[in-house]
């Protein structure tokens, strides 16, 4: 079997601030293969976005400090790559989409020109994407890049793509802008796409379209996706796998169906119980008391223990290791049971 | 309470955060800001005690010592003596009080007028805004020094007249700044919330809008102090500001101009003092901007 | 049938729009003949996407904006016809909680000042002196799950959920009958959202409040509200009991919206 697309091993990250050094990622293990969509969920401040930014090495250092671990992208450790190599990778191996589509497009340039720039830059490393003979002139390459830009806009479902190339960002609606950003992230044919809350600012109907589009792209381009979101509903409908994060740890991970049907970690259960469903009776929503702990002085042992309804004295000693609770399904809880003994 | 109490249980205490301490921490991290603060502290010290600490207090009052004219720097007179035999150091120390207080008055008056105009314009909007801001623009079209010269010439020389003259050209910058801030803060959710609870317009302006525009005003004031001191000196230099024998940096420079370059030391002390004060206030202003007005950070 | 508290009667709002360089002006119809009524003691949900006119309707109810035509009636009184004094009185009876708890608290005021300000403004109606106001502020804080130890702290010392509790306490301070909740939980994490939703349920039961709940999250509306209206491009496309709208939506738009809702099936509690 070949190396996985992305493999994060025991990643530890700390961030320094006035208050001290916060241990924000506490041994992350994550493996993403081509064709998989991984949902990364958890409350804010759990390290979801930091994990995403770590993969593309976009955190300034200081304050960021990687204390241990590795981030392997098809066998190469992102933490050890020199800067120019990283930049090359970011453009065409890793694509990124952020939450706010307005601030990530330059308002002064036409959509088409921005897409063409990205395509030309990506073509420096991957000439194949432009579909023109080697040694082609500048104008020829530019024309090819423009055609590619139009194709991508069509691909992400923007009507009249050819004409829309000449529009400015402000002439697009929020959903359309997010589509443009997806097109921009995909134009270099990345192997890994990191989408950080791509639909949070959008209406539900637009959200559904964007997520469907994302799913289609994964199938077409055979890439891996990390979808960072706080919405378990989005994960349930879009992702193939899910990793639930709490206070810098992945507390539960596995195929979406398994995790959502049989959540083994109390945090995952609590998170799911916070979402009102059609059967939740008024006033009977089971919230989760408390909030994410301060990571400068994290609680000893299991970081979730102070909020956990099932915590015992044993939980206060030592960070629990992930326990296999099903096929590819693991939960980092000392009370989680191996599949043989678990009640199914 | 009932079983619902558990469901609505509040989150644990966040540690009490002292905003001031955080700000000071960030301020102290910047060496230049700290340097500025120390320089300004020194300037303030001499503003308060310069006249008292001067080695030759009699010279400040206008006393002369013709026997000791144009003495070069020595232990007795570290910055030499001038054409009247007066100790230059004593004059410059006393001049600190005059220059800095003049600068401070200008900035304070400018801030008060500017804030008033800007706040009313931004809050009222419509034709009031239109009139006030066109008036501001009109004032801005006249170069500050020229306007101040004209007013000073009309009112005659003297400390108060000079301050009035400069202040009249000083407020438009504040009016624009405050109007912009008011327009931005006016749209904040908490201002809408105040409207919804029925707060009166004056309450909204005084309690909710203006307190949240203070930071950039303070930053501008400290950056402006240096320029105001220079402006005061400038008017003194061209002879329409404070007149001798009141020791003022610009006047001192102006007089010593006639004796350059032979008696260079007469110009050096006031020049250095001015440089020191202006530089200090600018560094401090930059430092304050970094901690108070993070939007403007590089 | 219970008494109607708030009635929106054929309200339209047209924004003239900025006149362009050549004198053409674009008219924007933010609300088109909107009619709905909210009964005393119920939770009424208004659901719509961005740009649907939710905000304009809210602002019209609070009289922060005047409708172009139509009437907003509160207990049968036309809000457009009220005198300044009546309007002040009304401000105490209709209160609002905004979406963003980070932006809706004045950063320069302490919790005490924030919560007592409405009582200070309405002191003639409420008749509370300084000490009574502080006492009531403590009561209100404990009602929303905070305590007296929070009284002299500033907003930046609180988490998002706690800030929203402070906003709710402020809204309750003048003793309102109707609470307009403008997406009060959409800026919060689901776990905190659950806490705030439960708090809202509890407060309604305790104080007999009427809620006008604006949201884009159908799941939250289904949980909290008795009836709802769907607004689309300034028009009410469907309204009725929550249960019937969710079980048997009548319009295409309602079906599409409910279909687009991402859902998680929660297993029975372990």
Residue pLDDT tens, chain A, 344 long:
567 888 999 999 988 877 778 888 888 899 999 989 999 998 888 888 889 888 888 888 778 888 888 888 888 888 888 888 888 787 778 888 887 767 778 888 888 888 888 888 888 777 777 777 777 778 888 888 888 888 888 888 888 888 888 888 888 877 788 888 888 888 888 889 999 888 877 778 778 888 888 888 888 888 899 999 988 888 988 899 999 999 889 999 999 989 988 888 999 988 888 888 877 777 778 777 777 888 888 888 888 888 888 888 888 887 788 888 888 889 888 888 766 554 44
Residue B210 Cα, gap to closest chain C Cα (Å):
10
CB hemisphere CA count around A231 (13 angstroms) = 24
Cβ <8 Å between A18 and B8: no
CB contact under 8 A, C194 and A287: yes
Residue A275 has its nearest CB partner, among C159, C266, C267, at C266
Residue C17's pLDDT band (cuts 50, 70, 90): low
Task: Specify the pairing of strand C4-15 against strand A76-77.
Answer: unpaired
Is residue B62 domain-resident?
A: no
Of C121, C162, C199, the CB nearest to B198: C121
Same domain for A18 and A57?
yes
Determine contact, residues C23/C45, Cβ cutoff 8 Å: no
Q: What is the pLDDT of residues C250-265, one digit of tens each?
A: 888 888 888 887 777 6
- Output the CA–CA distances (angstroms, integers) from residue A200 to A231, B285, C55, C199, C264, in the order listed: 9, 39, 19, 25, 17
**C interface mutation test: which of B193, B202, B209 has the most C CBs within 10 A?**
B193
Cross-chain CB nearest to B190 (options C62, C104, C174): C104
Residues on chain A touching B8 (C-beta within 8 angstroms): 287
Interface contact flag, B9 C145, Cβ < 8 Å: yes
Instruction: Name the minimum distance, in Å, from the CA of A110 to any CA of chain B.
Output: 27
CB contact under 8 A, B15 and A294: yes
CB contact under 8 A, B190 and C103: yes
| pLDDT tens-place string over residues B68-122 | 777 778 787 777 787 777 888 888 888 888 888 989 999 999 999 999 999 999 9
Asked if the model's pLDDT at residue B147 lies above 90, the reply is no
Q: What is the pLDDT of residues A299-324, one digit of tens each?
A: 888 888 888 888 888 888 877 888 88
Q: What are phi and psi of B255, to 5 degrees?
A: -65, -45
Tokens standing for A157?
């479902």
- Given B19, B198, B203, which is nearest C88 (Cβ)? B198
A208 CB neighbours in chain C (<8 A) are: 259-260, 262
| Residue A334 maps to a domain | no
Which two three-digit tokens encode residue C118?
A: 């409405």
A320: in domain: no
> In this structure, what token pair is assigned to residue B162?
């000079």
Of C133, C131, C113, C130, the closest CA to residue C174 belongs to: C133
Classify residue B7: in a domain, yes or no.
no
Q: What is the pLDDT of residue B205?
A: 92
C222 and A285 within 8 Å at the Cβ level: the answer is: no
Within 8 A of A292 by CB-CB distance, chain B residues are: none
* Of A153, A172, A189, the domain-final residue: A189
Residue C268 is predicted with a pLDDT of 46
Residue in B12, B13, B21, B294 to test binding to A, most A beta-carbons within 10 Å:
B12
Average pLDDT over residues B29-34: 82
Residue A298 lies in a domain: no
| Beta carbons of C36 and C8 less than 8 angstroms apart | yes
Q: Is C146 on the interface with B (CB under 8 A)?
A: yes
Mutate to test the interface with B, among C104, C144, C224 (most CBs of B within 10 A): C104
Tens digits of per-residue pLDDT, C202-214?
999 999 999 999 9
pTM of the model: 0.82
Q: Are strands C227-232 and A192-196 parallel, antiparallel or unpaired?
A: unpaired
Going by C-beta distance under 8 Å and a sequence separation of 6 or more, which residues neighbour residue A343?
Answer: none
Q: Domain map of chain C by residue range?
A: 4-18+26-260
Using CB atoms within 10 A of its CB, is residue C163 exposed (0-12), middle (13-18) or buried (19+)?
buried
Its domain, for residue B139, covers 31-49+79-296
Chain B residues whose beta carbon lies within 8 Å of the beta carbon of residue C153: 16
Residues C216, C50: contact at Cβ < 8 Å?
yes
Number of structural domains (chain A) is 2
Residue A343 CB-density burial (10 A; 0-12 exposed, 13-18 middle, 19+ buried): exposed
Instruction: Supply C232's token pair.
Output: 């689309």
C210-215 and C43-47 strand pairing: parallel
Nearest to B17 among C109, C156, C173 (CB): C156
Query: Taking a C-beta distance cutoff of 8 angstroms, is the pair A10, A29 a contact?
Result: yes
- For the record, the structure tokens of A2 come out as 């070949």
pLDDT for the residue numbered B3: 35
C21 has pLDDT over 70 = no
Write down which chains contact chain B via at least 3 CB pairs under 8 A. Answer: A, C
B266 neighbors B259 (Cβ within 8 angstroms): yes
pLDDT of B19: 65
Q: Kindly state the greatest CA–CA separation across chain C.
A: 67
Angle value at C-alpha A56, between A53 and A59, nearest 5 degrees:
45
Report the gap between the CA of C187 and the closest CA in chain A (Å): 10
Indicate the average pLDDT of chain C: 86
Number of domains in chain B: 1
Task: Tell me if B8 sits within 8 A of C195, measured CB to CB.
Answer: yes
Could you say which of C49, C219, C259 has the minimum Cβ distance to residue A276?
C219
Euclidean distance between CA atoms C131 and C134, whole angstroms: 5
Any idea what the Cα angle at residue A320 is, between residues A318 and A325, rounded to 5°? 160
Judge whether B57 lies within some domain. no
CA dist list (Å): B95 to B44, B75, B166, B239: 12, 21, 18, 16
Q: Is C58 helix (H, G, I), strand (E, B) or coil?
A: helix
Work out the average pLDDT over B158-164: 84
Find which of A289, A291, A292, A299 to mutate to test the B interface (most B CBs within 10 Å of its CB): A289
**Distance from A231 to chain B by nearest Cα, in Å?**
21
Residue B17 domain-assigned (yes or no): no
Window C:138-177, CB contacts with A under 8 Å: 159, 161
* Widest distance between CA atoms in chain A: 71
Nearest to C157 among B8, B9, B14 (CB): B14
Whether the pLDDT of residue C125 is over 60: the answer is yes
Indicate yes or no: CB of C262 within 8 angstroms of CB of A204: yes
Q: Please name the residue of chain A whose CA is at the shortest distance from the CA of residue B28.
A: A18
- The CATH homologous superfamily to which domain C4-18+26-260 belongs is P-loop containing nucleotide triphosphate hydrolases (3.40.50.300)
Q: What is the pLDDT of residue B146?
A: 85
Chain B interface, Cβ < 8 Å to C: 4, 7-11, 14, 16-17, 19, 188-190, 192-200, 203, 207-208, 211-212
Q: Confirm or reject contact between C105 and chain B (CB < 8 A).
A: yes
Instruction: Give the pLDDT mean for B286-291.
Output: 84
Kindly state whether C166 is in contact with chain B, defined as any CB-CB distance less than 8 angstroms: no
Please check whether residue C3 touches A, CB under 8 A. Answer: no
CB-based contact B190 C174, cutoff 8 Å: no
Question: How many residue pairs bridge chain A and chain B with CB atoms within 8 Å of each other?
Answer: 20
Nearest-angstrom CA–CA distance, B244 and B239? 9
ipTM score here?
0.82
Q: Assess whether A77 and A217 both reside in one domain.
A: yes
Instruction: Using a CB–CB cutoff of 8 Å, tell me whether A276 touches chain C.
Output: yes
Strand pairing category for A64-73 and A76-77:
antiparallel
Question: What are the chain C neighbours of A310 within 8 Å (beta carbons)?
Answer: none
Q: What is the mean pLDDT of residues B6-19?
A: 47
Q: Which chains border C (3 or more CB–CB pairs < 8 Å)? A: A, B
Which structure tokens are listed for B236?
Answer: 């003194």
The H-assigned helical ranges of B80-125 are 88-124
Return the residue matching tokens 């959903």: A175
Q: Closest Cα partner for C8 from C116, C135, C94, C112? A: C94
Instruction: Give one word for A60, left, alpha or beta, with left for phi > 0 and alpha for psi -120 to 50.
Output: beta
Burial of A137 (0-12, 13-18, 19+ CB in 10 A): exposed
- Name, in order, each residue with C-beta under 8 angstroms of B26's C-beta and a sequence gap of 6 or more: A18, B290, B291
Chain centroid, CA C221 distance in Å? 12
Which residues of B are less than 8 Å from A285 in CB distance? Answer: 7
Nearest beta carbon to residue C264 from set A230, A236, A282: A236
Least confident segment among B75-89, C44-58, C123-137: B75-89
CATH number of the domain within which B137 lies: 1.10.3720.10
Predicted local distance difference test score (pLDDT) of residue B208: 92
Cα–Cα distance measured from residue A132 to residue C80, given in angstroms and rounded to the nearest whole number: 67
Residue A311 domain-assigned?
Answer: no
Residue B73 lies in a domain: no
Residue A329 touches partner C, C-beta closer than 8 Å: no
- The answer to whether C121 contacts B188, with C-beta atoms less than 8 Å apart, is no
Provide DSSP, C124-179. Answer: HHH---HHHHHHHHHHHHHHTT--GGGTT--GGGS-HHHHHHHHHHHHHTT--SEE
Question: Average of pLDDT values for B252-273?
Answer: 82
Same domain, A259 and A132: no
Least confident of A45-49, B17-21, B176-180, B210-214: B17-21
Domain containing A81 equals: 1-93+190-292
Q: How far is A343 from chain C (nearest CA, A)?
A: 11
């Amino acid at each position: 079997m070949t190396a996985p697309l992305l493999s994060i091993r025991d990643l530890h990250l700390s961030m320094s601030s006035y208050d001290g050094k916060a241990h924000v990622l506490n041994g992350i293990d994550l493996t993403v293969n081509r064709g998989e969509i991984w949902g990364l969920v958890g409350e804010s401040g759990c390290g979801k976005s930091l994990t995403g930014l770590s993969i593309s090495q976009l955190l300034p250092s200081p304050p960021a400090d990687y204390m241990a671990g590795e981030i392997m992208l098809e066998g190469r450790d992102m933490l050890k790559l020199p800067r120019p190599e990283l930049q090359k990778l970011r453009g065409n191996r890793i694509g990124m989409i952020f939450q706010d589509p307005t601030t990530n497009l330059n308002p002064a340039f036409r959509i088409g020109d921005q897409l063409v720039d990205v395509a030309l830059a990506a073509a420096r490393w991957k000439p194949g994407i432009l579909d023109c003979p080697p040694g082609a002139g500048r104008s020829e390459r530019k024309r090819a890049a423009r055609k590619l830009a139009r194709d991508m806009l069509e691909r992400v479902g923007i009507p009249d793509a050819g004409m829309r190339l000449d529009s400015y960002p402000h002439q697009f609606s929020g959903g359309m802008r997010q589509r443009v950003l997806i097109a921009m992230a995909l134009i270099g044919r990345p192997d890994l796409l990191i989408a950080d809350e791509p639909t949070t600012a959008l209406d539900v109907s637009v959200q559904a379209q964007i997520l469907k589009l994302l799913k289609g792209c994964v199938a077409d381009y055979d890439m891996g996706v990390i979808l960072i979101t706080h919405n378990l509903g989005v994960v349930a409908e879009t992702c193939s796998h899910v990793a639930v994060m709490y206070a810098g740890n992945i507390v539960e991970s596995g195929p979406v169906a398994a995790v959502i049907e049989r959540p083994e970690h109390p945090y995952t259960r609590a998170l799911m119980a916070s979402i009102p469903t059609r059967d939740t009776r008024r006033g009977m929503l089971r919230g989760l008391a408390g909030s994410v702990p301060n990571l400068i002085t994290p609680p000893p042992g299991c970081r979730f223990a102070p909020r956990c309804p099932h915590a015992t004295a044993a939980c206060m000693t030592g960070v629990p290791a992930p326990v296999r609770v099903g096929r590819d399904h693991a939960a980092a809880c000392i009370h989680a049971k191996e599949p043989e003994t678990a009640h199914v | 309470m009932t079983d619902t109490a558990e469901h609505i249980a509040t989150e644990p205490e966040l540690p009490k955060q002292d905003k001031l301490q955080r700000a000071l921490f960030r301020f102290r991290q910047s060496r230049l800001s700290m340097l500025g603060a120390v320089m300004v502290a020194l300037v303030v010290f001499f503003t308060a005690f310069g006249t008292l600490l001067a080695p030759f207090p009699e010279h400040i009052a206008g006393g002369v010592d013709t026997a000791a004219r144009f003495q070069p720097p020595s232990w007795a007179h570290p910055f030499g003596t001038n054409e009247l035999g007066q100790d230059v150091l004593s004059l410059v120390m006393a001049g600190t009080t005059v220059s800095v207080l003049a600068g401070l008055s200008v900035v304070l008056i400018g801030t008060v007028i500017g804030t008033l105009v800007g706040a009313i314009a931004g809050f009222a909007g419509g034709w009031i805004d239109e009139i006030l801001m066109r008036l501001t623009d009109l004032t801005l079209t006249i170069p500050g020094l020229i306007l101040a010269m004209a007013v000073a010439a009309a009112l005659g020389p003297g400390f108060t007249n000079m301050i009035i003259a400069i202040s009249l050209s000083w407020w438009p910058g504040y009016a624009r700044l405050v109007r912009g801030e008011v327009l931005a803060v006016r749209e904040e959710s908490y201002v809408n919330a105040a409207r919804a609870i029925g707060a009166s317009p004056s309450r909204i302006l005084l309690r909710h809008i203006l307190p949240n525009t203070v930071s950039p005003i303070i930053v501008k004031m400290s950056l402006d102090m240096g320029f105001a001191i220079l402006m005061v000196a400038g008017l003194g230099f061209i002879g329409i500001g404070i007149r001798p024998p009141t020791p003022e940096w610009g006047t001192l420079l102006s007089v010593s101009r006639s004796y350059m370059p032979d008696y260079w030391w007469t110009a050096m002390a006031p020049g250095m003092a001015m440089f020191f004060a202006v530089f200090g206030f600018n560094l401090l202003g930059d430092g304050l901007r970094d901690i108070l007005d993070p939007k403007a950070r590089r | 049938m219970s008494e109607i508290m708030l009635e929106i009667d054929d309200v339209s709002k047209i924004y003239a729009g900025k006149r362009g360089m050549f004198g053409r002006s674009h008219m924007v119809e933010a609300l088109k003949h909107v009619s709905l009524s909210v009964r005393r003691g119920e939770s009424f949900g208004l659901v719509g996407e961005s740009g649907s006119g939710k905000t304009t309707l809210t602002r019209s109810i609070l009289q922060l904006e005047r409708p172009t035509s139509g009437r907003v009636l509160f207990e049968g009184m036309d809000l457009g016809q009220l005198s300044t004094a009546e309007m002040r009185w009304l401000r105490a009876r209709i209160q609002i909680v905004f979406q963003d708890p980070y932006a809706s608290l004045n950063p320069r005021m302490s919790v005490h000042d924030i919560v007592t300000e409405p009582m200070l403004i309405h002191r003639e109606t409420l008749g509370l002196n300084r000490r009574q106001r502080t006492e009531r502020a403590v009561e209100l804080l404990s009602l929303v799950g905070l305590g007296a130890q929070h009284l002299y702290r500033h907003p930046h010392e609180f988490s998002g959920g706690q800030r929203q509790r402070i906003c709710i306490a402020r809204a309750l301070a003048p003793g309102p009958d109707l609470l307009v909740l403008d997406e009060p939980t959409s800026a919060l994490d689901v776990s905190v959202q659950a806490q705030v939703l439960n708090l809202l349920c509890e407060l309604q039961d305790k104080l007999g409040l009427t809620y006008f709940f604006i949201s884009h999250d159908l799941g939250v509306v289904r949980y909290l509200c008795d009836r709802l209206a769907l607004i689309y491009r300034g028009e009410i496309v469907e309204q009725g009991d929550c249960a019937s709208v969710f079980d048997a939506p009548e319009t295409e738009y309602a079906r599409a919206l409910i279909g687009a809702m991402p859902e998680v099936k929660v297993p029975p509690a372990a």
